[in-house]
Amino acid sequence: MCGFLGGSSSFTCHNAFFFLIYLQAAEIDPPESTPGPPFPVFTRQEVARHHSEGDRVWVTYGSDVFDVTDFLELHPGGKSKILLAAGGALEPFWALYAMHKQEHVLELLQGYKVGELSPEEPPLPTPGDPYGGDPPRHPGLKVNTLKPFNAEPPSELLAENFLTPNPLFFKRNHLPVPTVDPATYRLYVQGIRGRALSLSLQDLKSKFPKHKVTATVQCAGNRRAEMNALRNTNRLGWNIGAISTACWSGVRLRDVLVHAGYKQGDDGHVSFEGLDKDQNGTVYGASIPFEKAMDPKGDVLLAYEMNGEELPRDHGFPLRVVVPGIVGARNVKWLARISVGPEESQSHWQQKDYKGFSPAVTWDNVDFSKAPAIQEMPVQSAITEPSPNALVPPGELTVKGYAWSGGGRGVIRVDVSLDGGKSWHEAKLTGEAQSPGRAWAWKLWQLKACVPPGTKELNIVCKAVDTSYNEQPDSVGPIWNILGVLNNAWHRVHVSVGED
């Protein structure tokens, strides 16, 4: 686990202790606290101005302000990770890595104290703002839009954990986040022959067996920024972080449908409606094939827990659909209603969005009725470290990333090139063992390679291969489309080689 202000992939509390000893032995002691008069008082806005190395890097912890500029190069987890908190609070990042709360780490931090925070009232929501009731979010997220809120984790943290910490799991909202009282919540399920179910949260927990599924969720627009760079789609410019993995717990959708009178072998579609709606009352909706919903090996859940915790509000509290191997758009959050019928959901997001088209299709000639709604996703991979345009030292280089394929197809190989695809190395895969045809979660991968002497730059490329031997296309151009979806071209990162 990679620490923040004191950690790396192999850095533990034990290492932190010896790192502190190293600082003392090397006479690189942090500056002592200022004696005499009280520390100056700063507002959070004043702290926020110190967010880059050129302006000095300040952070806060509790009510104290620290200048950690001189610690950036000493941080065992790399300065890129500590810069994620620059100008803001350490708490959201330290909460991800409990090792930071060790006494010796806190003592080390105190040596960099330069001031204290002035008392502040939290900002009040704008009256009448439909997004005023949205929940707080982790400050490390890279925001694409605030209203509705859409954000992804920084690439440096994306592959640090097989299960993405809940605060860092990417956020994809189409409408304001609803406020739901779990005590009065009801899920309505259309049954056969006019029968209907009204299930409380407690009904779901007590009447049906609990199941767990570890599954990756990916937005269809993941890596759209690369398509926008080629030709702008005027849609959310996701980088590589519109993908995350969690262990979901809840009841099988199949069990609920059987309880409502349905049986395997029926045909049609299962439609979902959420409690999120716009000011005109239009709710978010989507559907999946009935066959997928009823498949005993399909593992479709009505989830009420995420990574062992109650579902966060941004991720569908109190109940959401999790459809493993299927595009994130069908994993409806804040689930209100389930119905079964011969046709797909008539929702805008099923009929007029999340479909793939030829590069020849334009907004002048597009016919949404001729393209099927995206369900299973293609094989995908991306490089999370090093970052684009980074300066890497000569010698051994570690490249990290993730790989995933839809439809339960496992990833069997990730190939990595340091020279733009002229030569290749096979990366080491890590992650949980998964059953054939039910490989719902990503693989994390890592490659340790030697940078040849005299190398000035690297063009790092990765591509994944799944169990059906599907491979990623080598470039974005042939798969560009007006919606900017399904980008699974080779991921490329250019870096420079040299001493910092």
Residue numbers annotated as active site? 75, 100, 172, 219, 354
Amino acid, res. 64:
D
> How are beta strands 150-152 and 142-145 bridged, if at all?
antiparallel
Three-state SS annotation for 198-234: EECHHHHHHHCCCEEEEEEEECCCCCHHHHHHHCCCC
How many Cβ atoms sit within 10 Å of the Cβ of residue 415?
20
The type of residue at 1 is M
Place of tokens 């300065």: 79
Token pair of 349, please? 């997001």
List Cα–Cα distances, 448 to 81, 128, 216, 415, 498, in angstroms: 20, 53, 25, 12, 18
Do 465 and 415 contact (CB within 8 A), yes or no? yes
Selection from 243, 234, 236 nearest residue 171 by Cα: 243
* DSSP tally for the chain: helices H, then strands E: 11, 26
Each residue of 26-58: b (16+ CB within 10 Å) or e?
A: eeeebeeeeeeeeeeebeeebbeebbeeeeebb
- Residue 271 CB-density burial (10 A; 0-12 exposed, 13-18 middle, 19+ buried): buried
